[in-house]
Amino acid sequence: MAGRRAAQVSGAPRIAVASLMFEANTFAPGRTRMDAFESTTFASGADVLEAGQGLDSVAGAVAIAREAGAQVIPTTSAGALSGPILAAGVYPRLRDRLLDGLASHRGEVDGIYVQLHGAMVADDEDDVEGDLLEQIAALMGVPVAASFDLHCHFTARMAAATPLLAGYHTLPHVDMVSTGERAMRLLLAELEGAQARLAWQKIPMITSAEGQDTNQPPIREVMDRIGEIVNEPHVLDASLFMTQPWLDVPDLGWSAVVVTAGEGGLAEQRAAELAQMAWDRRTQVRAPKVPISEALQRAGCTAPDPTQGPVVFGDGADSVSAGATGDGVEVLAGLLAASLTGRAQVIVTDGEASKECATAGVGADVTLTVGGSLAPEFHGQIGVTGTVVKLTDGRFTSLYPPSPVDLGATAVVRVGDHLHVVIVERPASQLDYQLYEHVGLDPQDAHIVVTKSAGGYRAFYEPIARECIDVDTRGPSDSRLDRMPFRRADRPLWPLDPDTAWRPAAN
Ligand SMILES: [Zn+2]
């Protein structure tokens, strides 16, 4: 591969480590600005290794490097909660910071490992990670390995920049650490002279996360096959990138990627096979949703029973961890109209309402208008009358992903006997239940818990839930992709074009 040093390293290799994590949603209104990064995980030097609290891909990569006797040189990391695309000028600043951190070790390192999400889009760059990998490889002139989220929007530029690429194998994502281990093993193999080659197949399909559970058919079948392929002779790694679907960019679609050592058509054959397997299962990757009225009926059939756990409503179309804004109130409207028999709890983003509560104080009765404050093209407003029962500064540590959180003014308003509405100033990722615990609302003894997440919430909630129900709502991360206003994505693309015909071709 042009520009990539193939020489073997003698002695203990020196490996620079960097990280830049962000998942864009081009349908979410507004722009993500620099302060979203600075206020969360802007680290340099040794702090880069601590930023993920040992639970991210950096941790896995570093552990494997050290096991192999390599010297690890942490440089910079940055990340932000999923959201709208980056405003013009933000990506160049993040890129320059990352490249500057590496440049000071130019000529001193044998390889680079970088932790990326893979679905970062900016006003000034559609393919952030492709551009970044190109620039890192050109600047440093040594092999570059990267780990990605399973929702990476894989591109030809990434494939051309380096073959040393590995993505998560799980949804819900629970293999961040082992993905970092895999990426580092690719790098170490390359430094030992593997001459890795990568083959990939773009698959003209997109699906919502709710149907991508890797523990269930049909995706489990493809993942099982990946497990067999990576154990074959000469195969170094394989990934199925199911792409962030709420990205209106050219060349959108799933990708199958296989990395082998040396020449030969094995990588191409296996990538084509995985792509065909995924394509053949496209109609089975379903995101069954039920109307809120039906969800309430199902939850209401049984009286609240703390020993059985809560009924969890997934509001996937307003999934903050998929870049939506968390200001949808369709489920809240349903709860307000329902005859609740036990505690129900829901989170909504509304900066003005949360500040009104802070001004009113604990114990005050308030009448608020909430909803649609950030994405009015998707969400309406609704009136909420209740009592402020808790106020916080919205600061705590989330477990999934592991990071410090700052939601600003946060209030809990109790409506009637049972409904608790958590109002946050800024969008809150709801994959785990740390926010509910932070305000004293333990989900385990609630009757109904709402989480604005498209499937990813199941890692935390399924073990405690009596039932998880995905509710049919509208929003920037709607699982009904045919309802979304795609304009730039290459066509045909299933399911936007239901009659799409396709078969793998040589790449
Ligand atoms: Zn993901």
- Please give the angle made by the CA atoms of 225, 231 and 232, to the nearest 5 degrees: 95
Q: Please give the distance of CA 272 from its chain centroid, rounded to a whole number.
A: 26
- 404: CA distance to ligand 1 center in Å? 19
Whose tokens are 């900016």? That residue is 122
- 372: CA distance to ligand 1 center in Å? 25
pTM: 0.90
- 149: CA distance to ligand 1 center in Å? 5
- 238: CA distance to ligand 1 center in Å? 17
- 368: CA distance to ligand 1 center in Å? 34
- 119: CA distance to ligand 1 center in Å? 9
- 212: CA distance to ligand 1 center in Å? 10
Q: Of 238, 169, 155, 183, which is closest to residue 65 (Cα–Cα)?
A: 183
b/e sequence 249-285, b meaning 16+ C-beta within 10 Å: bebbbbbbbbbbbeeeebbbebbbbbbbbbbebbeeb
- Cβ < 5 A residues, ion ligand 1: 149, 151
- 118: CA distance to ligand 1 center in Å? 9
Q: How far apart are CA 237 and CA 167, in angstroms?
A: 9
- 68: CA distance to ligand 1 center in Å? 29
- 150: CA distance to ligand 1 center in Å? 5
- 134: CA distance to ligand 1 center in Å? 23
Q: What is the pLDDT along the chain (507 residues), one digit of tens a residue?
A: 434 444 567 789 999 999 999 999 999 999 999 999 987 678 999 999 998 888 999 999 999 999 999 999 999 999 998 999 999 999 999 999 999 999 999 999 999 999 999 999 999 999 999 999 999 999 999 999 999 999 999 999 999 999 999 999 999 899 999 999 999 999 999 999 999 999 999 999 999 988 899 999 999 999 999 999 999 999 999 999 999 999 999 999 999 999 999 877 999 999 999 999 999 999 999 888 999 999 999 998 656 666 789 999 999 999 999 999 999 999 999 999 999 999 999 999 999 999 999 999 999 999 999 999 999 999 999 999 999 999 999 999 988 877 788 999 999 999 999 999 999 999 999 999 999 999 999 999 999 999 999 888 998 999 999 999 999 999 999 999 999 999 999 999 999 999 999 999 855
- Residue 253, CA distances (Å) to 58, 165, 275, 312 in order: 27, 18, 11, 30
- 354: CA distance to ligand 1 center in Å? 29
- Please give the angle made by the CA atoms of 406, 152 and 27, to the nearest 5 degrees: 65
